[in-house]
Amino acid sequence: MTSSYTIGRGLSYVNGDSNSVIATPADIERSWARTDQDRLHSLVESFLVQLPFGADRRWVRSGAMSHVLGGWQVSGIFAYQSGSPIGITMSAATLNAPGNTQRPDVSGTPKVPGGIGSNNLWFDTSVFSSPAANTFGNATRNGVLDGPSYVNLDATIARLLGFGRVHGEIRVDVFNITNTPHFNNPNGTYLGAGFGQITSTVANSERSMRFGLRLMF
């Protein structure tokens, strides 16, 4: 077994991709904040278990049982990450500052009832309001609330093979073996349709399987 835990913080003026620009050039320091990809906590656990049967194992080293039960192993990787920041924005029509991103005013930290799907709020939207005309809202970039955490378990069942000088394995890899939904962040556009709602999952994150055969000689 192995364990890895990371606590970290990513900060920048832009979101991290090559096409990003400073969101508020009229007041650059408003853009200094967490990156879109920032996650405070990250835990990864990996494991490998091999059955104690077979010629090189502790139990049942020879005979039919050795050939049937020997060479099997199970491995996996469990990952947990805390949520990434939700980008809260709104129309800049009343800001009178072309090229700048506007954000609403927010009173305190929104409560998180955790609703999923259309017409179900993941966070409380009642604490948001429109700022006065020609002023920036007090909601900071990526500083109001984090989205859902990420929890995933991948696993592999493999049978090790040996035929003289030829070695290999037959394996089945199962990704997201628990079929746990990996939700995207809720809609962060204030006054927009679906504000505060989660209506999608991370693409291609549902449970899937892969079969493989590897030979070494």
pLDDT by residue (tens digit) across 15-55? 766 567 899 999 999 999 999 999 999 999 999 998 776 65
Number of Cα atoms under 13 Å in the Cβ half of residue 65: 7
pTM above 0.85, yes or no: no
pLDDT in tens, 45-66: 999 998 776 655 555 555 666 6
SS3 47: strand
pLDDT band at 184 (very low <50, low <70, confident <90, very high): very high
Please count the residues of the chain.
Answer: 217
Question: The tokens of 165 are what?
Answer: 């000088």
SS3 31: helix
Domain count across the chain: 1
Number of Cα atoms under 13 Å in the Cβ half of residue 83: 17
* CA 171 – CA 193 distance, rounded (Å): 46
3-state SS track over 62-125: CCHHHHHHCCEEEEEEEEEECCCECCCEECCCCCCCCCCCECCEECCCCCCCCCCCCCCECCCC
| Contact assessment for residue 95 and residue 89, using Cβ atoms and an 8 Å cutoff | no
Q: Percent of the chain having pLDDT more than 90?
A: 77
Residue numbers of the domain that contains 176: 2-216
